[in-house]
Structures are given as C-alpha cells and as structure tokens.
Amino acid sequence: MKTDPLGRGLSAILQDEEKASSKLIPIGRISPNKTQPRLKIDEKSIAELASSIKGKGLLQPIILRRKDKGYEIIAGERRFRAAVMAGLKEVPAIIKDVDEKEALEIALIENLQREDLNPLEIAIVYERFTEEFSYTHEELAHKMGVDRSSVSNFIRLLKLPQWIKDHVTEGKLTQGHARALLALKSEKEQKRFVDRVLKEGTSVRELERQTRKKNVQRISAFSSIEEDLQKVLQTKVNITFKRNKGKIIIEFYSKEDLERIAECISEN
C-alpha cells in the first residue's frame, strides 16, 4: 500500500477542497492567522490578485476554522487580503474542524503546493513542528514526503546570521548558497563570500568549490579524524587544539538528532 506523504487524512482534506461545499462568510468575522507560515507577502501580487477578483470574483474558497465568535484563516491569506483590497463584503470559504497542529499542517501544505514558501519560511515551520508538536526529523520527513536530511538541512539554515537569512528571504541568495555558507567558520568569512555572490553572481556549485578550498587551506593535523567522526556520526564535527588541550564540537539539530548521535557513540 502506498504511504500518504501528507499524513493520514491531511491530503484528503486538500484533495476534497474543490468538492466541498463552501459558504459565504462576512469579511468582518474573519481574522488572519498569526502563526501562518508565510513571513512576507508581496503587496504587488496582492494588488494584481485584487484586480482579478474585481473582474471575476474570488473563484477559489479560503479555508477557515471556527475560533472564538468568528473564524480564523487556515489557508488563503493572500486571497483574503486581495478580497479585502477588492472591496468584497463576504468571501466563499470552507470551514474545517481542526486543531492547532492540523491547521498548521494544512497551511504549510497549501503554501507548498500553491505559493512556494521561501526556504527560511519552510525552515521556520519545520522547526515549529519539531518544537511545538514534538515531531522528530524522521516523522516530519515522512509527513512531508521528503528525505530526513532535507528536513535537517532546512532547519540548519536558521543557524545563519539574520542578515544572510534576509538575503535568502529577499531572493538574493538561494538555499544552495546559504547551505554552502554554513561551512564557513566565521561571519567575517561569510560576508566576504556573500559580497562575491552578490557582485559576481557566483553559482552555488562555484561557491561550494570556493568554500571547500577555503576550508582545505586551514586543515589541521586532526582533519582526518574530523572526517572519520563526521562519517560515523553523520553530522558536522570540528576539532580545535591549542596548548596541549582541545575541544571536539559535534553539531546536532534536534533532540532526536542528539539521541541518534549518542547512540552512535555508545555503539562505537
């Protein structure tokens, strides 16, 4: 039997959306969802959608859930904002009886399918799943139909300095560029390479080559040990040594990841 990558019942909600009967809900009874996945909504695209709605109406219902004495948006934030801008008094909506976790799942999947969240928005939502709802990286990967490493790599992006994350959000740097920058040891080095990408249009592959070359230049006598540990533990390992003492720094990205590493160490 084929596994449902969106989780039992979740894909059915989305697939049946068009078939479900919608009802007209007054704009004044609807409130935005403060926890919705999208961090930045392009006002120009909202205006364009509003213009379309004025001419043709809102063709696709938004998804709501009951909250307090009104309704909260689960999915369709852009459509709702555009409807308000277009001057609509009420919008077609499908009401779902779901809890906080299910609402976030639907919002994420709806955005992934239709609006393409930027990498930082995906990373933040993935982290929320792990922290608020106690998903392991493995469980979340299964839920989203991706590899576990993909989930971990997205969440790792949140370790970058805010100014780099801003460049990713604005589309000046790709996720591939951001991942390559994680290999650099200092923010000063990251800034130098980011400036090069912005000025010269350096590709992801070239940036990866340049950062690897930079790391090779500072390889210590312990680099082979670092490499061996990284293969065994399947995570980034850094060894520092000075004045006959040193540190082994092992990175982990969730409680599940830490438990996995601890198990690897105990077995070896």
pLDDT tens digit string along 225-249?
887 888 888 888 888 777 678 888 8
Q: Are strands 23-26 and 90-95 parallel, antiparallel or unpaired?
A: antiparallel
How many angstroms separate the most distant Cα atoms in the chain? Answer: 75
Percent pLDDT > 90 in the chain is 28
pLDDT in tens, 122-162: 898 888 888 888 889 998 888 888 888 899 999 999 999 99
- Which residue has 């392009």 as its token pair? 42
Determine the Cα–Cα distance for residues 229 and 235; give it in Å rounded to an integer: 8
CA distance 11 to 5: 8
pLDDT reported for residue 167: 93
Active site residues: 77
**Residue range 10-115 in CATH 3.90.1530.30:** yes
pTM, 2 dp? 0.63
Alpha helices in the chain (DSSP H): 10-15, 43-56, 77-85, 100-114, 119-132, 137-144, 148-156, 162-169, 175-181, 187-200, 204-217, 223-233, 255-267
pLDDT beyond 50 at 211: yes
Q: Are 63 and 133 in contact (CB under 8 A)?
A: no
Residue 9 has pLDDT above 50, yes or no: no
- 3-class SS at 157? helix
Pair of tokens at residue 85: 């801008």
Domain extents in the chain? 10-115, 118-159, 161-218, 220-268
